[in-house]
Amino acid sequence: MVDRRLVDEWLGKADEDFGFASINLDEDRPFFPQICFHFHQAAEKYLKAYIVANVLVFRKAHDLVLLLQTCGAHDGSAQELRDACEYLSAFYVETRYPVHWPTHFSRDEARRARECTRQIREWVEARIRPSPTSQS
């Protein structure tokens, strides 16, 4: 059985990451590695929301391609997100120690990261957000 509250929590946290990264990008903040990281985090949470909503095998993983494979086993159209997931995977940071934090990402890369994340968000939301007519 689907725990709708848990699905909504995943979506809410994903929306927060997406919003945080988008605001910083729109305000022309030069923190592109951090912005890209938060777009990755948003994408990860959107995929996990889909996994939870469909009661699929949940993995505590940060690998977007692996998460996408889980989604794709349920809905083959998930494969249209493969390029986006592969692109965003470069922005995950395993460690939180500054010496390992990448600093070479650009504004253009951050813009593309937002578009990739938006594509993932729209795919997930189209499949798991209740339609306005079904909420009556």
- List of domains in the chain: 4-128 (1.20.120.330)
> How confident is residue 30, by pLDDT bands cut at 50, 70 and 90?
confident
Q: For the whole model, what pTM was predicted? A: 0.90
> How confident is residue 135, by pLDDT bands cut at 50, 70 and 90?
very low
Q: What is the DSSP string of the chain?
A: ---HHHHHHHHHHHHHHHHHHHHHHHTT-S-HHHHHHHHHHHHHHHHHHHHHHTTPPP-----HHHHHHHHHHH-GGGGGGHHHHHHHHTT--S---GGG------HHHHHHHHHHHHHHHHHHHHHHSPPGGGG-
* Residue 87, pLDDT above cutoff 70: yes
* Residue 100, pLDDT above cutoff 90: no
